[in-house]
Structure 1
């Protein structure tokens, strides 16, 4: 089955930028750090809230379980999902990623995004060590 591929443009802009700030993702109760990075990329798309895509290497992968869920975006490609295993519960399809994103958004390859209603995401200035 062939899927339509659309290129971002004036009618549907997508902008991706590096975000050197410290992004920290924690469980809803703030008790468990799920991810922490200064290497995120931020994707802004056609009037939607910006999304922080975090390198998978900067995520506690022991808390992720891949699911069979998939969705398709003609601008980004096929999304796959992880369930998130927190100390409190398992949250189905709480994390998504594009294994092979379309060329226009290839910067999000190797990155994951968290649904903000399931976690707390904070963005602060990175602190030099």
Structure 2
């Protein structure tokens, strides 16, 4: 099932052939890159899409945006919409375009609005801690 986007980009609705689910992540998530804590949240979302690995999305309010730098890189997903990227300068070359966000996600994935995701291989770690863990 497709509809057209104002920019004539195809829009696809998740379905049995390409399921997408979004649920609250049960753990506290701490993202580290370039030796710094980039994000620390108890409100992360897990997005599972078709056969891809699950992706953790962190609310922007729980990300230290001063450690990120917006880049000109952009991609498009017919299920989620236009995607913008950030680099993590402290992570060096590895941190280039290491973070992505859908600023105006399509309705099917609306919960990921104002959330950021991180490429695991471009950062130091995405740690899953018990939700009641005290930050140290």
**Do the structures match in fold with TM over 0.5?**
yes
The structure with the greater share of residues assigned to helix is 2
| Post-superposition CA distance 1:21-74 (Å, at most 9, x none) | 10010126xx31111100011100001110000001111111111111110000
CA contact (8 A) 2:28 2:133 kept: no
Structure 2: where are the runs of 5+ without partners? 1-6
TM-score by length of 2: 0.87
1:102 to 103, 106, 109: 106
CA contact (8 A) 2:33 2:88 kept: no
CA contact (8 A) 2:74 2:85 kept: yes
Structure 1: where are the runs of 5+ without partners? none
- Equivalent runs, 1:28-43 vs 2, <5 Å: 31-43=35-47
Return closer, same or farther for 1:128/1:116 CA change in 2, 3 Å cut-off.
closer
Alignment root-mean-square deviation, CA: 1.4
TM-score by length of 1: 0.92
| Moved beyond 3 Å, runs of 4+ | none
